[in-house]
Amino acid sequence: MHNDRLSLDEIARRVDAKAPAFCASSDRIWAMPELAFEEHGSVAEQIAMMEAEGFRITRNVGGMATAFVAEWGSGGPVVGILGEYDALPDLSQESGAVGHAPLKAGAPGHGCGHNLLGSGSALAAVALKDALEAEGIAGTVRYYGCPAEESGSGKTFMARAGLFDDLDAAFCWHPSVVNEVQSTSSLACIQAYFRFRGRAAHAAAAPHVGRSALDAVELMNIGVNYMREHMPSDARVHYAVTDTGGSAPNVVQAFAESLYLVRSPHLPDAERLFERVKRIAEGAALMTETTVSVQITDATSNVLPNKVLQEAMYENMRRLGPPAFDAADYAFAEKLRKAAITEEDVLASVKPHDLSLRTKILHDGVLPLPAREEVSMGTTDVGDVSWIVPTVQCHTACFAIGTPFHTWQLVAQGNLPAAHKGMVLAAKAMASTAADCLRNPELIARAKAELRERTGGRAYVCPIPDSVTPDDLHRRAA
């Protein structure tokens, strides 16, 4: 039967064949950590790898110099595999050290494992291509080089540019401490500045002619705190006050600014809640006889889980089994745990997955899909992709259980053999599930039907207004 030509074993073999090259590529990216929107070297590395494999490259997509698409094949279903490669500030760390040992003080480091993320996804795309090519099967394979996940919502801008519109399924992963198909959704978020303008005056001599923008910021905050009683329990609204109008108490503050972050498990709910927050801002302006302007600066959609694809991917992971960690992998993980991982870290690390893992050092199983869909209280720009095309993600064990993210402890493990093994497993899980889609159109049809049901037929609308460009976010982050 034709389906056998893209069997799990076949895909796994092809992944293994190219794994050494892509692990080496991952290590090179680990060694040149670059911040969001500035991943020029990492992108050059990735493009070189994909060009060598015969992929067609489109650079500078979505208005970002470090976003690209690598494509192979034509016709047939179109599957996309998403990669990332941005690092985090101030996390430089020597590989394999179990104490804090920056390679270069103050320099960035791959504290979220995105060197693995990009290379593992590229490996999956290449292995899938190899299989299609060898078997002469029609189909289109894309690798999306997605910048600025940590700060900047690269995929959201790519989604706005329509780059995912013709995909039939999308695949992604994230390096982790466990092996599992990700089943949780995430929060949609909208972030905006509220800027109030009033009238300055001498606060003691002529307070009645002043109109305080700082008062407006405070009254808006009060209004929002009153709203909390009357909003859904699973939504979140937070703020920072980013400009208080100066440090002189004896001047009525003529300008003040706050930054609001509105989140909800469902984008339309986040939008409705954001409208309420805007009305509160207008109320605060009315109360203080000031004016207010609102500027949305960032937004991402919630992740829409896809049970159909999750089950397909889980079946593959179950059959693949966990990475084959060896004694050296365990020895290092144990050493690190003793030296630099607390019991609290361990608890926090396993809590979202399975508390019984707390006695383990490295994950030696594959977690089952949970009966109930949970919402993770975070946000990711994968959410926007998931509103356009059925999307599935997995986690694989690349790091010792208990490793906190965004720390030097994680950086120290980012190019070790254990991390490579986790990355290879992820590539297999993604490529094999993509292969399932290619050989089984009905799977795509069911996944798309589920997506339609989850969106309620609402077409994707990018939550970042057209007036906001990646450059705006880059500038602000800088």
Q: How far is the CB of 8 from a copy of itself (least distance, A)?
A: 31
Tell me the number of residues near a copy of itself by CB under 8 A.
Answer: 64
Nearest distance from C-beta of residue 379 to a copy of itself, angstroms: 8
Q: Does 263 bind a copy of itself (CB under 8 A)?
A: yes
Tokens of 55: 């992929």
H-only helix segments in 228-306: 267-288
Can residue 285 be called a binding residue for a copy of itself (CB under 8 A)? yes
* DSSP strand pairing (188-197 vs 291-300): antiparallel
- Crossing angle for the helix pair 8-30 and 307-320, nearest 10 degrees? 90
Region binding a copy of itself by CB under 8 A among candidate stretches 3-11, 93-101, 166-174, 220-228: 220-228
Q: Which stretch binds a copy of itself (CB under 8 A): 176-184, 222-230, 361-369, 389-397?
A: 222-230
Q: Contact letters (x/-) for a copy of itself, 160-199, by CB under 8 A?
A: ---------------------------x---x--------
Stretch binding a copy of itself (CB under 8 A), from 9-17, 38-46, 216-224, 304-312: 216-224
377 contacts a copy of itself (rule: CB under 8 A): yes
Give the interface segment with a copy of itself, choosing from 29-37, 66-74, 372-380, 401-409 (CB under 8 A): 372-380
Residue 216: strand, helix, or coil: helix
CB of 245 to a copy of itself, least distance (A): 7
Nearest residue (CB) to a copy of itself, 4 versus 453: 453
With 0-12 CB in 10 A as exposed, 13-18 as middle and 19+ as buried, what is 93?
A: buried
CB of 77 to a copy of itself, least distance (A): 35
The whole-angstrom separation of Cα 269 and Cα 279 is 15
Q: Return the HEC string of 356-375.
A: HHHHCCCCCCCCCCCCCCCE
Q: Cβ 315 to a copy of itself, closest distance in Å? A: 22
Q: Which is nearer to a copy of itself, 161 or 287 (CB)?
A: 287
In whole angstroms, the minimum distance from the beta carbon of 466 to a copy of itself comes to 23
Query: Cα separation of 109 and 90, whole Å?
Result: 7
State yes or no: residue 351 binds a copy of itself (CB under 8 A).
no
Q: What angle do CA 382, 385, 387 make, to 5 degrees?
A: 115
Among 2, 136, 230, 478, binds a copy of itself (CB under 8 A): 230
Q: Is 282 in the site for a copy of itself (CB under 8 A)?
A: yes
DSSP code for 63: G
Identity of the residue, 56 or 279, whose beta carbon is nearer to a copy of itself in the bound complex? 279
Dist CA 406 CA 142 (whole Å): 29
* Burial classification of residue 309, based on how many CB atoms lie within 10 Å of its CB (0-12 exposed, 13-18 middle, 19 or more buried): buried
287 binds a copy of itself (CB under 8 A): yes
Minimum Å gap between C-beta 254 and a copy of itself is 12
Among 75, 249, 456, 457, binds a copy of itself (CB under 8 A): 249
**Residue from 47, 57, 259, 294 binding a copy of itself (CB under 8 A):** 259
Contacts of 267 (CB under 8 A, 6+ apart): 188, 301, 302, 383, 387, 463
Query: Per CB under 8 A, does 90 bind a copy of itself?
Result: no
Establish if 378 lies at the interface with a copy of itself (CB under 8 A): yes
Task: Label the pairing between strands 139-146 and 68-74.
Answer: antiparallel
Strands across the sheet containing 236-243:
236-243, 255-264, 188-197, 291-300
197-234 burial, b at 16+ Cβ within 10 Å, e below that, comes to bbebbeeeeeeeebbbbbbbbbbbbebbeeeeeebeee
Whether residue 42 contacts residue 30, with contact meaning beta carbons closer than 8 Å, is answered with no
Q: Of these, 1, 2, 136, 233, which contacts a copy of itself (CB under 8 A)?
A: 233
Whether the CB-CB separation of 380 and 322 falls below 8 Å is answered with no
DSSP string, 136-191: T--EEEEEEEE--TTTT-HHHHHHHTTTTTT-SEEEEEEEESS-EE---B--EEEE
Quick check: 470 binds a copy of itself (CB under 8 A)? no
Does position 232 interact with a copy of itself (CB under 8 A)? The reply is yes
Report the residue number, 2 or 230, with the smaller CB distance to a copy of itself: 230
Closest distance of CB 406 from a copy of itself, Å: 12
Q: Is 338 in the site for a copy of itself (CB under 8 A)?
A: no
Smallest gap, in angstroms, from Cβ of residue 289 to a copy of itself? 7
Give residues in contact with a copy of itself (CB under 8 A).
187, 191, 202-205, 207-212, 214-215, 218-219, 221-223, 225-234, 236-242, 244-250, 252-253, 259-261, 263, 276, 279-280, 282-289, 371-372, 377-378
